[in-house]
Structure 1
């Protein structure tokens, strides 16, 4: 059964952009610089390759099973019970990622804006707004994101231009001074985030013109890559070797611009970009979790799960990391990249390979 809600190609492009770009720009440069130093910008190239392959895999699968999400068509590829196990894993992955996103939001807000506000208050405030958006449906999220993504562009581009004025090109030299190994090690961080085009497995059934899926997905990849380049290169040329010591390096650049330039307190723009990006990201995650659970149990109305998923996300974002004494930065640096690439790229690619082999085998038998 095809979904009743529909989104346009432009809305899909902007949804992917807002889902990936804002948080990637504020977090990834610091993680990359720890391994690759001034060559961090080069690590984007392998990430773009994996991002492109992820798009290709998800679109081929969607074309073969139109109107179905990856939870639904996986049963036709690998069978009912293996697909149930895979569906459980996908649901677990999105729930755990929901915890990570909300915990990132807590750390960012407590570091930059509201230092003494309890984490549960920060998390629950965002989670309730995102839950409301998910309850309204993918069309509502997509329409609100049209304005949000425009605001992100309007706020982000002037900041990036101001960053160029404070840059020193000598700090980006020498190129590839440490060889290829540190570059390949550091490339795992942007790769983990650019493989998040995996969400096409849930969003493509809602696209009103499926033929535009490839075009709009690659436009989104181009936009994200371009802005990531524009953010990383001036960042290195401003802070140089101390970039890897900063948790939110782009935010520190914005603060630096505000002190030495004509404007003050520009970090408020960075906070606005972060909050808007987190809203769209977590609203989509909440929607995907609820949709996955409804498809898993063959329940038509995914909205029945919005409220419990919202509460689970808010409570889990505070309690899970505290209970396991896990530092979020350590998780994002050592565990999440390989975990994300396996889930977002390797598993869909495996589904595609199995499906292709089955189709060729059936043709040979006939």
Structure 2
């Protein structure tokens, strides 16, 4: 594994924050409200528990196997052949994730900016840039993420302040009118599919120059994600009310609604900018991880040799994976949380449990 690149704790925190917030910001509030209704803003807190679980599991495993990625130490835990199956599973998972995000990106851009342009053009240019970033390495991606995160917050915070003027707290009533069950149902999507994306620590921690800072920066990143999503979901419900759960990009609709005639108009351009920048970081990191999974599975010297072939396959996957936007939305709302929870929470936790049992058995024999 190439470990000449190093990232700081601050860079890791920004990277984790942007990786999660990039896609959850515009799409998830509507899905949360679809299930949680007016109480969806409370769903953020139970959803964050999977994020805490991911941080604890990945840092614990990393401390036991310093300098190794989850693909490498999985073979040490479950054996060579099961470790290979483990790697193949994650190769499939990351490929599907990149293809899905790319299709989302192309659909978003086509809907708002380029309705007459072929979607494959937007996907091709987007993946080409992400492939270049993946070749440049995690250190370059992390430096980009520092700048991009600050830029996203610079655009986002004024929008949130403008939204407060249009908010109506009566849209939140009745609080817990149907009990706690809708709140828990609303937590399934962000908890199962997004908050636990912090499991990318399993690939990034070997590059951290000060491993002792991993827990602190990860918790700070998770706290920032929770606070921001809480505010976005709360304000979206207060502005749109019951309409929130019926919109694919509900927060985008809020941004369009708060435009001030003559002063601030067409604010959705800002939303598009935030989406593109955030997705660039997310797909770049995902490509980096996917190529590492493949190179470590086959014992390749460098992952960089396969970045562009994998990028081309991802472009094909983004066209092939879903027939239309309705299928994509159905996947994101119902299938993705289960698939993501299995790969992002269950499998790493299973590795930790197996490793703990194995160590105790070995110690008992001494």
Same fold (TM over 0.5): yes
Name the CA distance, whole Å, in 2 between partners of 1:184 and 1:231.
18
Partner of 2:115, secondary structure, is coil
Name the CA distance, whole Å, in 1 between partners of 2:172 and 2:347.
37
Q: What is the deviation of 1:2?
A: 6.3
Residue matched to 2:311:
310
Q: What is the deviation of 1:182?
A: 2.0
Unaligned ranges ≥5, structure 1: none
1:135 partnered with 2:135: yes
Write out per-residue CA displacement over residues 202-222 of structure 1, whole angstroms, 9 at most, x where no aligned residue.
Answer: 000000000000000001001
Q: CA RMSD in A?
A: 1.3
Q: Is the 8 A contact 1:251 1:270 kept in 2?
A: yes
Residue matched to 1:57:
57
Name the CA distance, whole Å, in 2 between partners of 1:320 and 1:49.
30
Residues 1:326 and 1:155: Cα distance change in structure 2 (over 3 Å): closer
Partner of 1:208, secondary structure, is coil
Residue matched to 2:272:
271
Q: What is the deviation of 1:319?
A: 1.9
Write out per-residue CA displacement over residues 342-363 of structure 1, whole angstroms, 9 at most, x where no aligned residue.
Answer: 1100000000000000011111
Name the CA distance, whole Å, in 1 between partners of 2:37 and 2:74.
41
User: 1:1-366 alignment to 2 at 5 Å?
Assistant: 3-191=3-191, 192-259=193-260, 262-322=263-323, 327-366=327-366
Q: Is the 8 A contact 2:39 2:182 kept in 1?
A: no
Write out per-residue CA displacement over residues 279-311 of structure 1, whole angstroms, 9 at most, x where no aligned residue.
Answer: 000000110011111111111200011011111
TM-score by length of 1: 0.97
Write out per-residue CA displacement over residues 316-352 of structure 1, whole angstroms, 9 at most, x where no aligned residue.
Answer: 1012213x99710000011000110111000000000
TM-score by length of 2: 0.97
Partner of 2:322, secondary structure, is helix
Name the CA distance, whole Å, in 2 between partners of 1:326 and 1:311.
25
Name the CA distance, whole Å, in 1 between partners of 2:26 and 2:333.
15
Work out the number of aligned pairs and report it: 365
Name the CA distance, whole Å, in 2 between partners of 1:254 and 1:326.
23
Residues 1:58 and 1:307: Cα distance change in structure 2 (over 3 Å): same
Write out per-residue CA displacement over residues 85-128 of structure 1, whole angstroms, 9 at most, x where no aligned residue.
Answer: 01100110000001110011011111111111111111111000
**Worse-superposed segment, 258-267 or 74-83:** 258-267
Partner of 1:66, secondary structure, is coil
Name the CA distance, whole Å, in 2 between partners of 1:193 and 1:325.
20
Name the CA distance, whole Å, in 2 between partners of 1:279 and 1:2.
23
Q: What is the deviation of 1:259?
A: 4.8
Q: Is the 8 A contact 1:2 1:205 kept in 2?
A: no
Partner of 2:281, secondary structure, is helix
Residues 1:263 and 1:326: Cα distance change in structure 2 (over 3 Å): closer
Q: Is the 8 A contact 1:2 1:68 kept in 2?
A: no
Q: Is the 8 A contact 2:100 2:321 kept in 1?
A: no
